Amino acid sequence: MQKEFVFGFGEKEVAITLPEDQILHIVEGKAVEAITDVPAAIKAALRNPIDSPPLQEVVKAGDKVAIIASDITRRISYPEFLPTLLNELNGAGIPDNDITIVVSLGSHRKHTAQENIAVYGQEAVSRVHLVQSYAPTTEDFVYVGKTSRGVETYLNKHIVAADKVIMTGGIIYHSMAGFAGGRKAIMPGVAGYSTIQGNHSFCLHDVTGQGINPNCMAGKLDGNNMHADMMEMASMLKQTFLFNAIFTPEGKFARFVAGHWHTAWLEGCKTVEEIFGVPITAKADLVIASAGGFPKDINLYQATKTTENAFMAVKDDGVIIALLECRDIMEPPDFSGWFNYKSLYDREIALRKAFTVPGFIALKTGLFAKKVPHIIVTLPQNKEFIEKAGLIAVTTLEEAMAIAEQKLGRTNYTITLMPHGANTVPLLQE
């Protein structure tokens, strides 16, 4: 029996007919209802936190409170919840002039004043003081200790000096740290440049030339040295309180977790797994994946979330087909430039000298494609760049299928489909 399946490609759709008896899994996220009364849900989380007294009992009049807020690269919808958070602090006797928003840039560029308003909302920016934690500004960071792995930890002086610190952000799967949110507000959010470099180096293999650390991957916390090192850094800060958001597949608020910076975050991670983690019983010979269309496939940097997730569902001798329009194929330059290195070894050595997340993603993409062929259905003008990245470029799904069958060497192969591969993570059941 044949059945038609549809995949997003930019703002269009691409259909393919496949034998139903060859379909092993269709990896789709769980449907979840969005929160309808956001302020009420925020108050409920703050007043009934996990492993912590309510926020209004954690803070007291006279405290200087720092709120760590994610930067423009994270879509957290801050204008929807910052006013409610500020009002809760006011209700505990903390006036606006004792509250500071610390923008957790890590090593990302600083915001403009207009961007601060766009990200955090005019009300919050008008009410409280705002500073930006930019890792290369050495004088803004103070030494707070050394982790058991030898990384000297420098954190933003405004955070260290605060009487209470509220860590905010969103929890999603993270390709290196297992999950975002939680301790990532501290590291890399408000950490110094040398500290970020030291921590991120754990994403690379212990042995030079062996590429990446296999334990630094989406959904994995046990054995993940990057995560463990982040945990130590976060624990160096006292008087912290967490407020994190979890989202629906459509990007709306699904849940808020608040309370202890670690246990409340872990509870949020479980919800992320429930929504976006999809159990699979076996890996497939062929994985056909789409990011889900625009903007998730706007460029290869964004689209690698799809290929990385597909890699978790494919056999070692299998093939991946990914439908990725990539209309802005050369963006961002700090990612595309990494493919100018002549070999993966050269790429790795450069990354060891000066770690960047785009560089790591570029290295991982090359290593995965070397292990399992990646056939990318994309725009004709992207062919040169896609092939430079070590991938196979085609313009139609039919052409991709023909190459895949040629590489598999048979027609009785198993297929897993990932129509929203950027968001869904296959979880192989042991």
Model confidence at 108: pLDDT above 90: no
User: Residue 225, class by beta-carbon neighbours within 10 Å (0-12 exposed, 13-18 middle, 19+ buried)?
Assistant: middle
Q: How confident is the model at residue 35 (pLDDT cuts 50, 70, 90)?
A: very high
Give mean pLDDT, residues 95-111.
Answer: 93
Instruction: Give residue 26's pLDDT.
Output: 97
Class of domain 38-247: alpha beta
Dihedral (Cα; 63, 246, 47, 91), 10-degree rounding: 40
Give mean pLDDT, residues 223-250.
Answer: 95
Q: With beta carbons less than 8 A apart as the criterion, state whether 38 and 81 touch.
A: yes
Average pLDDT value for the chain: 95
- CATH superfamily entry for domain 2-29+278-428: LarA, C-terminal domain (3.90.226.30)
Q: How confident is the model at residue 423 (pLDDT cuts 50, 70, 90)?
A: confident
Q: How confident is the model at residue 17 (pLDDT cuts 50, 70, 90)?
A: very high
**Angstrom distance (rounded) from CA 425 to CA 420:** 10
Of all residues in the chain, what percent carry a pLDDT higher than 90? 91
Summarize pLDDT for 198-236 with one digit per residue, the tens: 999 999 999 999 999 999 999 999 999 999 999 999 999
Model confidence at 160: pLDDT above 90: yes
Neighbours of 12 (CB within 10 A): 11
Instruction: Give residue 109's pLDDT.
Output: 85
Instruction: Give residue 367's pLDDT.
Output: 96
Based on its alpha-carbon atoms, the radius of gyration of the chain, rounded to whole angstroms, reads 22
Q: What share of the chain is helix, strand, coil (3-state, %, to 5)?
A: 35, 25, 35
Nearest to 103 by CA among 80, 142, 137, 58: 137
The domains of the chain are located at 2-29+278-428, 38-247
Summarize pLDDT for 52-67 with one digit per residue, the tens: 999 999 999 999 999 9
Model confidence at 333: pLDDT above 80: yes
Q: How confident is the model at residue 32 (pLDDT cuts 50, 70, 90)?
A: very high
Residues 6+ apart with CB under 8 A from 173: 179, 180, 218, 219, 272, 276, 277, 425
